Structure 1
Amino acid sequence: MDTTVGRLTYRDATDADVDAVVALVESAYRGESSRAGWTTEADILHGQRTDPQGVLEVVKSPDSRLLTVERDGELVACCQLEHRGAHAYFGMFAVSPALQGEGLGKAILAEAERRARTTWRVSEMHMTVISVREDLIAWYERRGYRRTGETTPFPYGDERFGIPQRADLRFELLVKPLA
């Protein structure tokens, strides 16, 4: 279902969106193009951030949705929402680097939270963030997420997630109540 909120159109991704979503995610996090925005991981990870197979798995999963966000017919952002019992998981969040800093991320995150709350009636949103990304964690904290201190190891040696440039990477769980 397409919904337009402000100038943004939200819809669930289809198979036809996979390549565009991969390109968007890669541009927001890896390589030189990612340096145009503030979400770059180019200094801590090289290689890919995602791939067509991983994106297609999210599109096809019955408990997941990949929300695409368009402005004037152009893909400008995306995020994954996954139903996990009493909570939803938020991931694969990307905003075009050229548009970062305009408030799009805040609006999209709020819409994703609203959809998770109304669609699945969940009470919390969970996400994992690379723990050394202090600026990104601070951004989420300003939007009501709290650090839990719970961490999981980074998948060193699995190049599907990138090639680490440091030995101290791990994921930290952030949680927000969706009351």
Structure 2
Amino acid sequence: MTAAAELVFATATEADVPALVALVESAYRGESSRAGWTTEADLLDGQRTDPEGVRDAIGDPDGLVVTVALPKDTGAAPAPLLACCQLQHRPDPRGPGVAYFGMFAVSPTAQGAGIGAAVLAHAERTARTVWQVERMEMQVITARTDLIAWYERRGYTRTGERTPFPYGDERFGLPRRPDLEFERLVKPLGG
């Protein structure tokens, strides 16, 4: 695909909302998501996100949404988004806070080329630089053992802290099975 060094990282704006929604949906829902390994099509139907949720994330004064694309050719239209993620600074009584990592998506046809690892590393550096936080955390559906293993290979640990999936709230999708739950993963962000 492309070398991670060629990726262009930017902070999302309101103009990016439609492309972000399309990217996240394509990476997790429906048949198109099966082109990559991050699909949740066997676990959930319905939406993964919506324009309002993405707009809220972009407008959050304690967070930012990162877009990832290839460099555009001079005079060409903007390059399509390859990946994205959301970072949110959350308070922590034990220190300078924690960075929450979410809305992570890589285009299904670009998965497996190191883009996801580059985005995660960029997010960790950004959280340390911007907020001086000492750790990053996220929530992952426990049934996603392959995804959890991917994060573990990058230094994240399972906490055993679980929260139920929000059954009945269609904003998060339509579960295809009754046993979905989230587990919190964390990673220290040493200097």
Q: Normalising by structure 2, what TM-score?
A: 0.90
- 1:64 positional shift: 1.1
- Report what 2:170 is aligned to: 159
- Report what 1:63 is aligned to: 62
CA offset digits 1:139-170 (Å, max 9, x no partner): 00000000000011100000000000000001
Matched, 1:20 2:19: yes
- 1:113 positional shift: 0.2
Residues 38-53 of structure 1 correspond to what in structure 2 (within 5 A)? 38-53=37-52
CA offset digits 1:95-135 (Å, max 9, x no partner): 00000000100011001000000110000000000011000
- Report what 2:108 is aligned to: 97
What amino acid sits opposite 1:19 in the alignment?
Answer: P
- What runs of 5+ residues in structure 1 fail to find an aligned partner? none
- Report what 2:75 is aligned to: none
- 1:44 positional shift: 0.3
What amino acid sits opposite 2:156 in the alignment?
Answer: Y
What amino acid sits opposite 2:67 in the alignment?
Answer: T
Provide the alpha-carbon RMSD of the alignment. Answer: 0.8
Q: Name the CA distance, whole Å, in 1 between partners of 2:21 and 2:187.
A: 27
What amino acid sits opposite 1:150 in the alignment?
Answer: E
Q: Name the CA distance, whole Å, in 1 between partners of 2:139 and 2:59.
A: 22
Q: Name the CA distance, whole Å, in 2 between partners of 1:154 and 1:12.
A: 29
CA offset digits 1:26-55 (Å, max 9, x no partner): 000000000000000000000000000000
- Report what 1:31 is aligned to: 30
- Report what 2:124 is aligned to: 113
SS at structure 2 position matched to 1:83:
strand
Matched, 1:142 2:119: no
Percent pairwise identity: 67
2:88 to 72, 82, 88: 82
Q: Name the CA distance, whole Å, in 1 between partners of 2:113 and 2:83.
A: 12
- 1:74 positional shift: 2.1
Higher strand fraction (1 or 2): 1
Larger Rg: 2
Q: Normalising by structure 1, what TM-score?
A: 0.96
- 1:174 positional shift: 0.1
What amino acid sits opposite 1:8 in the alignment?
Answer: L
SS at structure 1 position matched to 2:40:
coil
Q: Name the CA distance, whole Å, in 2 between partners of 1:114 and 1:74.
A: 24
Matched residue count = 175
Runs of 4+ in 1 over 3 A off after TM superposition: none
- What runs of 5+ residues in structure 2 fail to find an aligned partner? 72-78, 92-96
